[in-house]
Amino acid sequence: MSSQIIDQFAADLDGEVRTSVRSGSAAGTDKRHKVLFEDFPEADRMRELAGKVKQHTLDHLDKYLEQAEAALKANGAKVHFAWDAKAACDEVEAILRQSNAKTVTKSKSMVSEEVGLNDSLAERGFDVVETDLGEFILQLDGDHPSHVVKPIIHKNRSEIARTFEKHGLGEYNDEPETITRRARQFMRKKYLQAEATITGANFVSAESGRMCVVTNEGNSRFGLAGSRVHIALVGIEKIVPRDIDLSLLLNLLGRSATGQALTVYTEFIAGPKAEGAVSGPEEFHVVFVNNRRTEVLASNCREILRCIRCGACMNVCPVYRQASGHAYRSVYPGPLGAVLSPLLAGAEGFPELADLPKASSLCGACNEVCPVDIPIPDLLLKLRDRGKQEHNAQAAADTPPMGAWAWVAQSPALWRASLKSANMLNLLPYEKIPFGPLGRWTRDRTLPAWRGGKFRSWAKNRKKAAK
């Protein structure tokens, strides 16, 4: 039975993985809802406001980018701009070489995954360690990132224990405490050894040049404490105009992502180590990454750049819950990924990922939970239209063609005639009806009896009777 790639992926998915993804994301949604609305009865108005703040920033991105650059420089940061993925990796490599850094700790940064930084640095001879526990496990597994907030939602602890055993981190033991302790021991050495650390940034204030990084494990803080050099890889859409905007966005981010009022660690980084400070990097580099973001900004789907990567849309998405993150074949999964990934892939990459926008029943749950009110279903629809206009085969797969239908639907006489003649279908067993999509529908469902024309004749007859 042919079907779309994601549907096939979901069908083949290991039962255990499916259960962990579904229960993990459902729990995330429940927690978010509880915490958000308990604390803020008017949470929906906050979402709208946050959406407006982010949209305003995007609408004036050139201005705020300039302001952020100036403020960061005034704080003693070095600011770099990377046009694409390769430039971002080159830029990071150049900084590392200049400062003679070999061992690098890294805390979660989706944009670094997007540009393939880990592989690129490994190829160029650097030792890079992911320091978020979940990320670390992925790295050991050589697994692809398919997450935004919970990197190993698709793994259970016995799998993790096997991974640790395989990589010489002790004998098989699946107690979470043991796993954590072993990872900690391993990482502690790396923290002490590392000359440089790489982080992402959740927000950068254009007003003060303050950068905000949130984690739950404190791993970014550890990385910063031990290293001489800090490199932050930041998508240009991460800027907000003022410091005060952070209060709104941070309140929404933690609650939407993990149901926490605030993540355990929320760091504000204004520049390199201040004089007299006990620890902290002497050099602070910010690499602003474009990687087709300006292209997205110029498209009719620009609202997706408001995204603050909270993952709420994935957790609530019934398709993601069935299919898991890997099904989306890119760094950003779920509804957010279904919009962002094909766009970031550019004109050459779009055809490859044009099926992603189809992977939605357009139920609207993602829009309802999004802390920055992104109309995700509308954007999915716009990308479907684009796929159609570009005659994309991947997007078209298994969607019944609509041309003939539209033609009939413009002619009332033809329409009524087909409604009536289709009554004959009632006499045929489904398998005999020569229309592919019907076959797929009736494999798992019965079809109600066709009653074409009945309503209209009822309406006509009673009018006559009334006369």
Partner 1 sequence: MLDRPPFPRPPERVLFMATCLCDAFFDEAAKASVEVLEGLGIEVVIPQAQTCCGQPAFNGGDWKSSRAVVRHTLEVFAGDDPIIVPSGSCGAMMFHGAPLEFEKEKDLDLVKQTGARTWEIFDFLYRGLGIREWTGSWKGKIAVHSSCHTRGTGTPEAIRSLLGTIEGLELVDFAEPEQCCGFGGTFSVAFPNISRNMGTLKIGNVLETQPDLLVSGDMSCLMHLKGLAEKSGRSLPAKHAIELLRDTMNESSLSYVLANH
Which residues of this chain interact with ligand SF4, rule CB under 6 A? Answer: 148, 256, 307-313, 336, 369-372, 374
Smallest distance from the beta carbon of 142 to ligand SF4, in angstroms? 26
Smallest distance from the beta carbon of 304 to ligand SF4, in angstroms? 7
127-158 as b/e: b if 16+ CB within 10 A:
ebbbbbbbbbbbbbbebebbbbbbbbbbbeee
Nearer to partner 1, 13 or 72 (CB): 13
Lookup: tokens for 362:
């357009």
Smallest distance from the beta carbon of 447 to partner 1, in angstroms? 6
Burial classification of residue 444, based on how many CB atoms lie within 10 Å of its CB (0-12 exposed, 13-18 middle, 19 or more buried): exposed
The two beta strands, 78-82 and 211-215, are unpaired
| 309 contact choice in ligand SF4, partner 1, none (CB below 5 to 8 Å, kind-dependent) | ligand SF4
Burial classification of residue 18, based on how many CB atoms lie within 10 Å of its CB (0-12 exposed, 13-18 middle, 19 or more buried): middle
Nearer to partner 1, 182 or 416 (CB): 416
Smallest distance from the beta carbon of 86 to ligand SF4, in angstroms? 26
Strand order in the sheet with 229-235: 78-82, 283-289, 229-235, 196-199, 103-106, 127-130
Smallest distance from the beta carbon of 260 to ligand SF4, in angstroms? 14
Q: Give Rg (Cα) of the chain.
A: 26
Nearer to ligand SF4, 259 or 280 (CB): 259
Residue 368 contacts residue 44 (beta carbons within 8 Å):
no
Residue 334 contacts residue 359 (beta carbons within 8 Å):
no
Nearer to partner 1, 23 or 180 (CB): 23
> What's the CA gap between 177 and 247, in Å, rounded?
34
Nearer to partner 1, 211 or 380 (CB): 380
* Number of neighbours of residue 344 by Cβ within 10 angstroms: 22
| 445 contact choice in partner 1, ligand SF4, none (CB below 5 to 8 Å, kind-dependent) | partner 1
| 310 contact choice in partner 1, ligand SF4, none (CB below 5 to 8 Å, kind-dependent) | ligand SF4
Nearest to 195 by CA among 240, 277, 144, 129: 129
Smallest distance from the beta carbon of 189 to ligand SF4, in angstroms? 34
Q: At what angle do helices 43-59 and 15-39 cross, to 10 degrees?
A: 100
| 195 contact choice in partner 1, ligand SF4, none (CB below 5 to 8 Å, kind-dependent) | none
* Number of neighbours of residue 300 by Cβ within 10 angstroms: 11
> What's the CA gap between 374 and 54, in Å, rounded?
10
Smallest distance from the beta carbon of 367 to partner 1, in angstroms? 8
Provide the H-helix boundaries in 234-317: 243-258, 293-298, 312-316
Residue 183 contacts residue 43 (beta carbons within 8 Å):
no
Nearest to 315 by CA among 285, 335, 343: 335
Smallest distance from the beta carbon of 160 to partner 1, in angstroms? 26
Nearest to 154 by CA among 168, 172, 141, 169: 141
* Number of residues that make up the chain: 467
Smallest distance from the beta carbon of 18 to partner 1, in angstroms? 9
| 186 contact choice in partner 1, ligand SF4, none (CB below 5 to 8 Å, kind-dependent) | none
| 308 contact choice in ligand SF4, partner 1, none (CB below 5 to 8 Å, kind-dependent) | ligand SF4
Nearer to ligand SF4, 45 or 443 (CB): 45
The two beta strands, 211-215 and 265-269, are antiparallel
Residue 206 contacts residue 89 (beta carbons within 8 Å):
no
Nearer to ligand SF4, 95 or 310 (CB): 310
Nearer to ligand SF4, 10 or 148 (CB): 148
Nearer to partner 1, 176 or 364 (CB): 364
| 455 contact choice in ligand SF4, partner 1, none (CB below 5 to 8 Å, kind-dependent) | partner 1
Smallest distance from the beta carbon of 127 to partner 1, in angstroms? 41
Nearer to partner 1, 142 or 434 (CB): 434
| 365 contact choice in partner 1, ligand SF4, none (CB below 5 to 8 Å, kind-dependent) | partner 1
Smallest distance from the beta carbon of 440 to partner 1, in angstroms? 5
Nearer to ligand SF4, 183 or 308 (CB): 308
